[in-house]
Structure 1
Amino acid sequence: MILYPAIDLKDGKAVRLLRGDMDKATVFNDDPAAQAMEFVEAGCDWLHLVDLNGAFAGEPVNAAAVEAILARTKVPAQLGGGIRDMATIERWLDKGLARVILGTVAVEKPELVREAAKAFPGKVAVGIDARDGRVATKGWAEVTDVDAVDLARSFENDGVAAIIYTDINRDGAMQGPNIEYTAAMARAVSIPVIASGGVSKLADLIALRDCGAQLNGAISGRALYDGAIDLKEALAALKG
């Protein structure tokens, strides 16, 4: 199972939010590229990037910070937030991103997801962010009536590289991941599922790995910044 260190970008800085609330942001590093290098030097195989401002604006906002990370690091990175048309997808992939994450458009324009997944095999993931099982869009500001598992299933045969499932109620709260629902998501589809939200200690990662469903990976943010999880130790444990 791959551990994806998270770098959430707000106003050009690396931050973490509490349950997706932009007004409850903690700044952890003024230099996101330096933060990325710390994760890379610890041995991570991937980086997970989120343009938080972009998710609300509907277009890239923290492009300079993302480009600085791509320029300084060599490991593959995936990015979500404000990616809502084919031109933006192409632009990010041309700049060296390994994978783009489509969230809001997966609900509002699912045909774009299918078109992009076909045009860029292995480079398009769907971000499904849910509150109490219902999908939230536009930077989690709007909760829809769409069931998270149903949305994942709708892309089953479209070549999507991964489903990144985030439980908003757990995100940044350091209360542990929603293992039951994440495992149910992974069992419901053949698309690789990456768990996000609530990972607060090494035991959470082990529990996700051993949940009985085949998870591709897990994303961790605040626990890495707070020191609750030692990245080198966690990477070694998951590989072992």
Structure 2
Amino acid sequence: MILYPAIDLKDGNAVRLLRGDMEKSTTFNEDPAAQAMEFVNAGCEWLHLVDLNGAFAGEPVNAAPVEAILKATKTPAQLGGGIRDVATIEGWLTKGLARVILGTVAVENPALVREAAAAFPGQVAVGIDARHGMVATKGWAEETDVNATDLARSFEDAGVAAIIYTDINRDGAMQGPNVEATDALARAVSIPVIASGGVSSLADLEALKACGTIAGAISGRALYDGAIDLKEALAALRG
């Protein structure tokens, strides 16, 4: 199971939100590229980047810090937030991003996800963010009547590289991930599922790994707060 350290970008800084609330943000590093290098030097295999402003704006907002991260390290990075057309997807992949994450458009324009996954094999993931099993879009600001599992199943034949499943109520709350729901989703589809939201201890990571179904886990606040030692966690997951 791969551990993805998270760098959430707001107004150019590396921050963490509480349950997706932009008004409840904590700035952890004003130099996101330096933060990325801290994670890389600890041995991470991937980086998980989110343009929080972009998720609300519907277009890239924190492009400069993302580009600085891509220039600073060759470690593969995936990015979500404000990516809603093929031109933006192609632009990011050209700049060295390993994988784009499509969230809102997966609900509003699923044909675009299929088009992108076909055009850029292995480089398109679907972000499914849910409250109580129902998908939320546009930076989690809008609730939908779309069931998370149904949405994931609809992309079974599309060739997407992964599904990033976030339980919004757990995100940034340091209360543990929704292991049961993530495991159920991973069992419902053949697409690799990456867990996100609430991963706050080594025990949480080990619980996700023990399912045997989950391909990866994203952690942010716990790494910044020191609740998870990245080197220790990486060693445990590789063992």
Tell me how far 1:233 sits from its aligned partner. Answer: 0.1
Tell me how far 1:94 sits from its aligned partner. Answer: 0.3
Cα distance in 2 for partners of 1:131, 1:73 equals: 34
Give the equivalent residue in structure 1 for 2:195: 195
Correspondence list, 1:1-240, <5 A: 1-211=1-211, 213-240=212-239
Find the residue that maps to 2:170 and give its secondary structure: coil
Cα distance in 1 for partners of 2:27, 2:73 equals: 21
Cα distance in 2 for partners of 1:228, 1:73 equals: 25
For residues 193-229 of structure 1, give each alpha carbon's deviation from its aligned partner in whole angstroms, at most 9, with x where no partner exists: 0000000100000000002x42110000000000000
Tell me how far 1:34 sits from its aligned partner. Answer: 0.1
Structure 1: where are the runs of 5+ without partners? Answer: none
Find the residue that maps to 1:150 and give its secondary structure: helix
For residues 140-190 of structure 1, give each alpha carbon's deviation from its aligned partner in whole angstroms, at most 9, with x where no partner exists: 000100000000000001100000000000000000000000000000000
Query: How well do the aligned residues superpose, as a CA RMSD in angstroms?
Result: 0.4
Cα distance in 2 for partners of 1:37, 1:204 equals: 24
Cα distance in 1 for partners of 2:98, 2:143 equals: 29
Question: TM-score if structure 2 supplies the norm length?
Answer: 1.00
Cα distance in 2 for partners of 1:65, 1:92 equals: 13
Cα distance in 1 for partners of 2:224, 2:149 equals: 30
How many residues end up aligned between the 2 structures? 239
Cα distance in 2 for partners of 1:90, 1:222 equals: 30
Tell me how far 1:88 sits from its aligned partner. Answer: 0.2
Structure 2: where are the runs of 5+ without partners? Answer: none
For residues 43-84 of structure 1, give each alpha carbon's deviation from its aligned partner in whole angstroms, at most 9, with x where no partner exists: 000000000000000000000000000000110000000000
Find the residue that maps to 1:36 and give its secondary structure: helix
Cα distance in 1 for partners of 2:184, 2:154 equals: 15
- AA of the residue aligned to 1:122: G
Cα distance in 1 for partners of 2:120, 2:72 equals: 24
Cα distance in 2 for partners of 1:216, 1:204 equals: 14
Cα distance in 2 for partners of 1:66, 1:72 equals: 10
- AA of the residue aligned to 1:239: R
Cα distance in 2 for partners of 1:118, 1:200 equals: 35
- AA of the residue aligned to 1:136: A
Tell me how far 1:230 sits from its aligned partner. Answer: 0.1
- AA of the residue aligned to 1:62: N
Cα distance in 1 for partners of 2:75, 2:237 equals: 18
For residues 92-146 of structure 1, give each alpha carbon's deviation from its aligned partner in whole angstroms, at most 9, with x where no partner exists: 0000000000000000000000000000000000000000100000000001000
Cα distance in 2 for partners of 1:21, 1:193 equals: 24
Residue identity over aligned pairs, in percent, reads 84
Question: TM-score if structure 1 supplies the norm length?
Answer: 0.99
